[in-house]
Structure 1
Amino acid sequence: MVFKRREKRPLWQVVFEFFWPRGGWTRAAQYVRHRLHRLPDTPEKIARGIFAGVFTTFTPFYGLHFLTAAIIAFVMRGNVLAALLATFFGNPLTYVPIGVISMRMGYFLLGTPAHSDDHIARSLGGKFMDAGEALKHNFMAMFTDATVDWHSLKIFYDEVFFPYLIGGIIPGLVAATICYIISVPLIRAYQKRRSGVIKAKLAALKAKAKRSAEARQKTD
């Protein structure tokens, strides 16, 4: 295959680059920003896609953020690619504070006694992994003699997923709205400047072609 890596990366490198991409998160953020600015669409439509992507990072649908962002962007008539790129607002450096904020808000709205931030941060990833293992076990149980057990998943739903889902709505809307408001003028200014640069280059090429044609006419 043309785009296949010549050398397969070892597992430790894949894991390390997930948490710290090559060039660092600053470079990764600059790349995402560059791609967003160059999308061939109106600033408002791109910004609606950004809104969808950022809002999605405040939902507990881990593993389905791309799909969720694409659906929301489609419903909002936003740019789907912008939504996919904007999901990088959620990354290994921000998922913990996003999760803590969303769950604490969920506990507050539902009137549920909340744990400390440290307890939530320490247990959040583990509870999602445990839920994934439980889902895998129950799925395999359909084809084996293993016993299906939904008790642990019910606890996960009541203590983590539902509070996260409800609590992420308000901070998600706030963060997404701020990103939308900031994105529209920035993208418009970038597109205007880029359009001016392209027009200047085209004008220079036309002037050069005209000079070449006049020079040939004089020679003839």
Structure 2
Amino acid sequence: MLFRRKKPATLSGRLREFLWPRKGFSRGLRYLSMRVLRLSSSPHSIAVGVAAGAASSATPFIGFHILIALALAYLLSGNLIAAGITTALANPLTIPVILVATYEVGAMILGTGGSGALTGEDILHMLGHLELMHLWEPVLKPLLIGSVPVAAGSAAAFYVVAFQAVKLFQSRRQVRRSSKVQPRTAGSANGL
């Protein structure tokens, strides 16, 4: 094989690489952000797609984030690729934070902050016995209600940041392209 290692990686080496990549975690984030910035669409369309992806990532509908993001981006005439890429905000590291934030905001809106809060053991017991009706009031209702303002806030914040970033990136790219074309046209005007 062309790109195979000369010496196969050991189990401990593969485990270390899985837990802490050699190039770091920021490399993937930089790749995704550059992928969004390089899309050939208007800054508004890309920012709407990013906002749709961020809003869907702030919902408790784990597994359906990309479908929700694509539907929102389609309805709002946003960039579907940007929406799909931005759903990576909901990953195994951030989902617990998102769920806790939406639950706390929902409990605050409903006014059930301290009363009736379930422990993790109670929730696992109810899920094990499929008592979803008992889970609705203390868990699912605050999650759903709390996800609306959290999703709206994250969509607004990500729209502003994405719009400005894409606008700046595209203007700098346009300046670079025009500076590369400038010398060629000057040389051809002189008869070269």
Category of TM-score, reference length = shorter chain: 0.7 to 0.9
* Percent identity of paired positions between Structure 1 and Structure 2: 29
1:90-128 CA-to-partner distances (Å, cap 9, x unmatched) read: 22332222211110111122233448x9x87xx39x958
Residue 49 of structure 1 contacts residue 79 of structure 1 at CA under 8 Å; is this kept in 2?
yes
Q: Which residue of 1 aligns with 2:89?
A: 89
Deviates more, 1:106-115 or 1:84-93: 106-115
C-alpha separation between the residues in 1 aligned to 2:145 and 2:72?
17
C-alpha separation between the residues in 1 aligned to 2:20 and 2:40?
30
Which residue identity does 2:61 align to in structure 1?
F
Is there any run of 5+ residues in structure 2 with no aligned partner, and where?
A: 6-10
1:50-101 CA-to-partner distances (Å, cap 9, x unmatched) read: 1111111111110111111111111111111111111122223322222111
C-alpha separation between the residues in 2 aligned to 1:86 and 1:173?
15
- RMSD between aligned alpha carbons? 3.6
Which residue identity does 1:32 align to in structure 2?
L
Residue 104 of structure 1 contacts residue 114 of structure 1 at CA under 8 Å; is this kept in 2?
no
Among candidates 153, 166, 170, match of residue 191 of structure 1: 170
Report the CA distance shift for 1:97/1:79 in structure 2 as closer, same or farther (over 3 A).
Answer: same
Q: Which residue of 2 aligns with 1:55?
A: 55
C-alpha separation between the residues in 2 aligned to 1:6 and 1:78?
41
Residue 56 of structure 2 contacts residue 68 of structure 2 at CA under 8 Å; is this kept in 1?
yes
- Alignment length (residue pairs): 182
SS in 2 for 1:60: coil
Which residue identity does 2:48 align to in structure 1?
R
Report the CA distance shift for 1:108/1:45 in structure 2 as closer, same or farther (over 3 A).
Answer: same
Which residue identity does 2:136 align to in structure 1?
Y
With normalisation by structure 2, the TM-score equals: 0.76
C-alpha separation between the residues in 1 aligned to 2:142 and 2:20?
29
Is 1:156 the counterpart of 2:132? The answer is no
SS in 1 for 2:77: coil
Residue 104 of structure 2 contacts residue 113 of structure 2 at CA under 8 Å; is this kept in 1?
no
C-alpha separation between the residues in 1 aligned to 2:61 and 2:22?
26
1:142-171 CA-to-partner distances (Å, cap 9, x unmatched) read: xxxxxxx752x2233333332111101112
With normalisation by structure 1, the TM-score equals: 0.67
C-alpha separation between the residues in 2 aligned to 1:169 and 1:25?
30
C-alpha separation between the residues in 1 aligned to 2:180 and 2:146?
50
